[in-house]
């Protein structure tokens, strides 16, 4: 329990990493716990309520521990699914020499790199905790400009696509991402710039996204994340393929596919 509690405290203190990292940490926490504990699961879920990756880890342990699978077997299956998903996404590419993005997504980074993107415009949203890491990673293969969100309607005309990751993909017809994503998606749509969502199927979940996490900014509490209508996206990219004009049914299919893949992975493994 001590190791799991340390991981939980690490998550509570973090404002930089995305849903894939939280997925890893949630798996690590339950593996260290060695069992499913409802109280621990509820506390874990409350750290970042919109991160569907964490919800899927919780559901996996709650479902399959009761079916006799060990915590280690579930961890192996989840890690394997993530590894395969990211490997497949890393092999995809776009015809784009310049892109716009927001926050920092490892999947956007991977796709931009495999597509030989030469120019990256990162729009800054506040509060911003991840900008330095994003600039450092994108500068390894492209020219990077970090720009204020207020300049988006001008500079987005210079790019071939707006690429964004997501922390949650919900069957209600929404995706959850850093605040500012909604505005950028609307601007891209109005300017005729295609909007791409990139992420793994383990970030899809059934239902409506919960209220977002808020942080103190000046004298107010402001949302760190926001819910964005899926209709603003032109393409959804997952390890399952590229889907044009995604909607709530598309998300439902992605979510069901993840659950099926997990069940198959566990059946192929050992208790």
Task: Specify whether the CB–CB gap between 130 and 103 falls below 8 A.
Answer: yes
Q: What's the whole-model pTM score?
A: 0.94
**Strand order in 174-178's β-sheet?**
204-205, 168-170, 174-178, 225-229
Q: Quick one: pLDDT at residue 212?
A: 85
Output phi, psi for 270, to 5 deg.
Answer: -115, 150
3-state secondary structure of 247: coil
The radius of gyration of the chain from alpha carbons, rounded to an integer in Å, stands at 18
Q: Quick one: pLDDT at residue 270?
A: 57
pLDDT at 61 over 80: yes
pLDDT at 31 over 70: yes
Q: Quick one: pLDDT at residue 99?
A: 98
Q: Which of the four pLDDT bands, split at 50, 70 and 90, describes residue 165?
A: very high
If one counts every other C-beta atom within 10 angstroms of the C-beta of residue 154, the result is 11
DSSP 212: P
Task: Name 162's Cβ contacts closer than 8 Å, sequence gap at least 6.
Answer: 99, 100, 101, 156, 184, 185, 188, 193, 194, 195, 196
Residue with tokens 């339950």: 30
Residue with tokens 């994503």: 181
Q: Quick one: pLDDT at residue 1?
A: 80
Nearest to residue 187, comparing CAs of 135, 136, 147, 242? 147
Q: Which of the four pLDDT bands, split at 50, 70 and 90, describes residue 112?
A: very high
Q: What is the mean pLDDT of residues 203-215?
A: 92
């Amino acid at each position: 329990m001590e190791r799991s509690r340390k991981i939980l405290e690490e998550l509570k203190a973090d404002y930089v990493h995305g849903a894939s990292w939280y997925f890893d940490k949630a798996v690590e926490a339950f593996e260290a716990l060695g069992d499913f504990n409802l109280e621990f699961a509820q506390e874990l879920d409350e750290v970042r309520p919109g991160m569907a990756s964490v919800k899927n880890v919780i559901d996996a342990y709650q479902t399959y521990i009761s079916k006799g699978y060990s915590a280690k077997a579930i961890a192996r299956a989840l890690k394997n699914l993530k590894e395969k998903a990211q490997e497949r996404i890393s092999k995809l590419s776009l015809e784009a020499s310049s892109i716009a993005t927001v926050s920092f997504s490892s999947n956007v980074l991977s796709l931009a790199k495999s597509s030989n993107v030469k120019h990256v415009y990162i729009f800054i949203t506040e509060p911003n905790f991840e900008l330095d890491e994003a600039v450092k990673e994108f500068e390894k293969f492209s020219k990077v400009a970090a720009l204020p969100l207020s300049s988006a309607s001008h500079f987005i005309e210079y790019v071939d696509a707006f690429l964004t990751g997501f922390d949650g993909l919900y069957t209600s017809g929404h995706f959850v991402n850093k605040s500012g994503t909604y505005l950028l998606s609307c601007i891209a749509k109005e300017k005729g710039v295609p909007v791409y969502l990139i992420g793994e199927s383990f970030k899809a979940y059934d239902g409506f996204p919960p209220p977002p996490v808020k942080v103190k900014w000046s004298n107010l509490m402001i949302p760190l994340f926001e819910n964005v209508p899926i209709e603003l996206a032109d393409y959804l990219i997952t390890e399952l393929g590229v889907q044009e004009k995604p909607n709530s049914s598309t998300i439902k299919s992605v979510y069901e596919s993840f659950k099926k893949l997990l069940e198959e992975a566990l059946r192929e493994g050992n208790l």
